[in-house]
């Protein structure tokens, strides 16, 4: 067998923050991808600004390394279940997965999600216990927990006999036993080549190249990324494309590239087993198969999970519209969403009845807020409505998405957390105590979890962690109570004054500091009661020439609560919007004028 044919494709799967991207960095540096004098940033695969800032992977990426006579293609996958459509497709293109688990945390909900997808695809994972240098590491226990998880997920006997590697991804160390003296990743490379057979040689069979990811290039247009399952593919050749609807189209490959290190290198021909990028087919989509011109052999389409959440992206009609953003019209928003649909398959965009916006559906709050954050940075201004959970109808029954929620919090706060999740129609499945902390598992409706995260942080004084992932659809759980506090609404335009905010802060939590420009209908704080209150935050003290002792002391204000984008989307109610601009995130009422709001509320009550 020739050198070029020993190809193994692997995916690194794990929970957020377990060290996937760090491990891939170590792979690359130890296989000589970087020059000796090259400056390499951490998490080199997280190329998008947002990924680097948040320390999470959003889009799966590819790179390759050479080890002895093997070419190993590595796919780095997202750990968040919001990007599950990315994970599912990646699993189809690989020969094995490295399951990365933190030596002290053990398996987490998203570990369960990505592992389940791998086992269903028949892959035999390799377990990598990371961060064994932590003081609270409990590697042996974690191995047992992972084994239990495999059994839980109905793994077969072969899958349950997984090789185990212990390591420290940050230092690029892997060991077969905990007390081995190893200084590099060789034991992991050896395990991969022993445990996984190289992809068989199907070069002489008819071509089958299935597209599992999309990219976009401003010069050559849409790119299809996928694995050559059978046959060979040549640059410039005429091909047939088996579409999702069963039809067959024709096209020509104008550019063919494969991964070497982190770069894409142009190729004249690629062989079975390799992952390639093809250009020239403008309407190529996920799951479609590229075949020989006269021999179309479609592969089974890739199933992409349905969206679970939707929001309305509206034109920003606030008085501050256009102050900081360049793109403010419906046309601009439509063009940007169309561009996003080229590569983001988990997304769905529908026009609304009115002409001022679009209904955008995705896999979760994070999925949609990442898109909004990217748009904001590119200079867009948008008004966004409260996220809505998408229901399913089946056999005349209304079904809603349920999520598995794992809470870790100090024992003293556990009563409050259990109480709040019960109110939100959560059902407790298990509870265990580890030291001063309690670990609680719930199954709760997505609807009930919207807006809960910030409340949870307050209830646990910031010491609790809450992890969610989609579990299944169940029958509708009935009415769930919403936000119990009203808001403070600015009466008119102006600049906020410390004097007015000081008076208001006695009965409300403020969202603005002094010296901030506001407009009529803007939300500036949260009331301690359940009613909304219209106030004047711009009122200043009347100046007189009589000085009273004691009352003219400096005002001491509590700092205002500043929202992140996700927190703002969780906080708002049905009649409110988040105004997103490049320089600010503001909360506002949908109807800015008080009389219009009264009319709207009356019409809702009469329905």
Sign, Cα dihedral of 140, 145, 148, 153: negative
Cα separation, 102 vs 129, whole angstroms: 6
Q: Is 29 annotated as a binding residue?
A: no
Q: Where are the alpha helices (DSSP H) in 178-250?
A: 186-195
Cα separation, 127 vs 317, whole angstroms: 52
Cα separation, 165 vs 160, whole angstroms: 15
Q: Is 17 annotated as a binding residue?
A: yes
Q: Is 568 annotated as a binding residue?
A: no
Q: Is 396 annotated as a binding residue?
A: no
Cross-strand partners of 384 = 313, 578
Cα separation, 417 vs 317, whole angstroms: 38
The 3-state DSSP class for residue 252 equals strand
Place of tokens 């349920």: 402
Cα separation, 32 vs 40, whole angstroms: 12
The answer to whether residues 534 and 333 touch, using CB atoms and an 8 Å cutoff, is: no
Biggest CA pair distance of the chain: 98
Cα separation, 465 vs 405, whole angstroms: 10
Q: Is 21 annotated as a binding residue?
A: yes
Q: Is 539 annotated as a binding residue?
A: no
The answer to whether residues 25 and 44 touch, using CB atoms and an 8 Å cutoff, is: yes
Q: Is 335 annotated as a binding residue?
A: no
Cα separation, 215 vs 410, whole angstroms: 44
- In order of 24, 33, 34, 35, 100, the CA distances from 38 in angstroms are 17, 10, 6, 5, 28
Cα separation, 177 vs 165, whole angstroms: 7
The answer to whether residues 42 and 55 touch, using CB atoms and an 8 Å cutoff, is: no
Angle at 492 between CA 487 and CA 493, to 5 degrees: 115
CA dihedral 369, 373, 376, 382 (to 10 degrees): 10
Q: Is 182 annotated as a binding residue?
A: no
Angle between helix 414-423 and 452-459 (nearest 10): 160
**Residues annotated in the binding site, as ranges?**
17-22, 130-133
**Residues annotated in the binding site for GTP, as ranges?**
17-22, 130-133
């Amino acid at each position: 067998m020739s050198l070029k044919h020993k190809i193994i494709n692997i995916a690194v799967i794990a929970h957020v923050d377990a060290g996937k991207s760090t491990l891939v960095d170590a792979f690359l540096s130890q296989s000589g991808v970087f020059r000796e004098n090259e400056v390499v940033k951490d998490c080199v695969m997280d190329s998008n600004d947002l990924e680097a800032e948040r320390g999470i992977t959003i889009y799966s990426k590819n790179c390759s390394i050479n080890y002895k006579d093997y070419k190993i293609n590595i796919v780095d996958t997202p750990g968040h279940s919001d990007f599950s459509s990315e994970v599912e497709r990646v699993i189809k293109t690989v020969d094995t997965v490295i399951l990365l688990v933190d030596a002290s945390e053990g398996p987490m909900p998203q570990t369960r999600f990505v592992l389940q997808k791998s086992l269903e695809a028949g892959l035999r994972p390799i377990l990598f216990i990371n961060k064994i240098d932590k003081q609270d590491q409990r590697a042996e226990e974690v191995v047992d927990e992972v084994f239990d998880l495999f059994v839980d997920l109905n793994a077969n006997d072969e899958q349950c006999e997984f090789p185990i590697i212990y390591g420290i991804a940050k230092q690029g160390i892997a060991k077969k036993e905990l007390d081995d003296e190893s200084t590099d990743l060789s034991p992991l490379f050896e395990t991969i080549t022993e445990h996984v057979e190289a992809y068989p040689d199907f070069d002489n069979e008819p071509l089958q190249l299935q597209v599992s990811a999309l990219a976009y290039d401003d010069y050559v247009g849409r790119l299809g990324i996928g694995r050559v399952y059978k046959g060979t593919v040549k640059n410039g050749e005429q091909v047939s494309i088996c579409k999702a609807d069963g039809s067959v189209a024709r096209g020509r490959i104008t550019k063919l590239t494969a991964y070497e290190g982190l770069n894409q290198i142009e190729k004249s021909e690629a062989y079975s087993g390799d992952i390639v990028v093809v250009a020239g087919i403008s309407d190529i989509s996920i799951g479609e198969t590229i075949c020989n011109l006269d021999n179309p052999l479609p592969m089974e389409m890739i199933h992409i999970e349905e969206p679970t959440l939707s929001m309305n992206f509206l034109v920003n009609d606030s008085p501050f519209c256009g102050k900081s953003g360049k793109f403010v019209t419906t046309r601009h928003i439509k063009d940007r969403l169309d561009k996003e649909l080229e590569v983001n398959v988990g997304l769905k965009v529908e026009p609304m009845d009115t002409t001022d916006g679009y209904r955008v559906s995705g896999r979760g709050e994070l999925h949609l807020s990442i898109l909004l954050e990217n748009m904001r940075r590119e200079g867009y201004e948008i008004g966004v409505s409260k996220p809505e959970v998408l229901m399913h109808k089946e056999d005349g029954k209304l079904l809603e998405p349920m999520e598995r929620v794992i809470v870790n919090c100090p024992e003293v706060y556990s009563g409050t957390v259990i109480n709040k999740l019960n109110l939100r129609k959560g059902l407790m499945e298990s509870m265990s105590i580890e030291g001063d902390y309690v670990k609680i598992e719930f199954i709760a409706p997505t609807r009930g979890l919207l807006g809960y995260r910030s409340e949870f942080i307050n209830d646990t004084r910031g010491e609790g962690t809450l992890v969610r992932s989609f579990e299944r659809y169940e029958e509708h759980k009935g009415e769930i109570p919403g936000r119990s506090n009203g808001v403070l609404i600015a009466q008119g335009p102006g600049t906020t004054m410390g004097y007015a905010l000081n008076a208001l802060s006695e009965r409300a939590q403020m969202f603005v500091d002094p010296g901030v420009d506001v407009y009529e209908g803007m939300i500036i704080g949260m009331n301690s009661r359940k009613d909304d209150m219209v106030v004047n935050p711009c009122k200043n003290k009347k100046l007189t020439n009589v000085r009273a002792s004691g009352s003219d002391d400096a005002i001491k204000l509590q700092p205002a609560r500043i929202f992140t984008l996700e927190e703002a989307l969780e906080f708002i109610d049905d009649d409110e919007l988040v105004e997103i601009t490049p320089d600010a995130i503001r909360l506002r009422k949908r109807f800015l004028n008080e009389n219009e709001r009264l009319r709207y509320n009356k019409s809702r009550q009469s329905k």
